[in-house]
Structure 1
Amino acid sequence: MSQSFEAAHRHCQSLQDALSRFRRHSLHQIAQWGTHLAAILPVGGRLLAAGNGGSAAQAQHLTAELVGRYQRERPAYSAIALHAETSSVTAIGNDYGFDHVYARQVAAHGRPGDVLVLLSTSGRSGNLLAAAETGRAAGLRVWAMTGPRPNPLAAAADEAVCIDADSTATVQEAHLLAVHLLCESLDAAGPPSPAPAVPVRGARLRPGDPV
């Protein structure tokens, strides 16, 4: 058996073990989060999300599923990936320092009752800790997805889903599953919605036609 095959086997086993623990200990938490989002997003609530590196990609994946759709048709929901605001991130980082790139955006965009989702494999990123503190002070509900407990971000959040795995890659892979399950729970808890009317390309719209 080659070393590369053994490494791949260990990676798969690590993910399988982490998901088994996630299923036992955190699945109910994700379902509750989905139910909460189903209550606030359709009535004007907003979700803000942020992360660093691979976790930034996971956060942006979540917001894309909410603004677009996961599986079933529904209205578009307000969701912003803070790290994707490149001009804001670079301006804030230049003027105030990297630890403030998310906190200042949370202060600008967040409203009481909104949700802030912060993803971090280590749970120790200064910019996410500052965002969590700012979010809670502003009345947002702060959720964290992190690696193993204990870590500062899980402690700073209102609620946290912590993946018990040693590998950064395994934590991120489990976070992707958590993102999909969160969207699935939201779809299951939300009211059904008919598919939106899509205008035919080239057709002329009349006043009052849906767009």
Structure 2
Amino acid sequence: MDGDEATASSDDLREFAGTLARQYRTAHTQTTLTLAFVTVVVFILQVAGATLTGLPSVRSFTALLYLEGGRSVYLLSLFLHRGPLHLLSNLLVLVVLAPQERHFSPGGYWAFVVTAATASLAAGYLVLLQFSPEPNVAFYGISGLGYALGGFALARGIRFRHTLTELDTLAAVVGITSLLDVVWNLAAALPDAPLAVNGGHLVGLVVGLLVGSLWRPASAPVRDDQ
């Protein structure tokens, strides 16, 4: 690649990044980013709890919560995380996919969030309850919602591929990686190690794919500031 080609490529990349930034700023993301913020607050409390109890890790403190905190702890399952990498990877996906929220009405998006979160957490618990030899199991994290948003972006992106914005194209790519991750997980775990199947990721993705396949624009397709 000569100097002119490299310069043109760099200019194209800057233009694409600028377009993404403009579209992101004008997109409705409040609900998703609020959920991400609550997740961060809960993790800070987990860190504080681990420190105050003298436990060696956030994961150990979270296990203690499930053992001694009563049934109410299960209500926090969506927001609990086992460590910084678990948290940051989930937050990154949520932040990137947050603009998918704009394709829903406010009530419709809350219905999507509740359905995806409940179904993915339930599936994760069911896999552990069915195959784990341990009497006590815990499944937690907000990744199921991220996989649902990825599945939605992918299914919607395929159906409306000729009118996708740059922001929705990026979201569809994230959806492809979510699909590949689920397929890889199933191929590696089945049939010999079903306990390794991440039911939350699988069901979250399926919910998103179904909703994206059935989605219809309320009026005109959503347009972003170019």
TM-score by structure 1 length? 0.31
Structure (1/2) with the larger strand percentage: 1
Structure (1/2) with the larger helix percentage: 2
TM-score by structure 2 length? 0.30
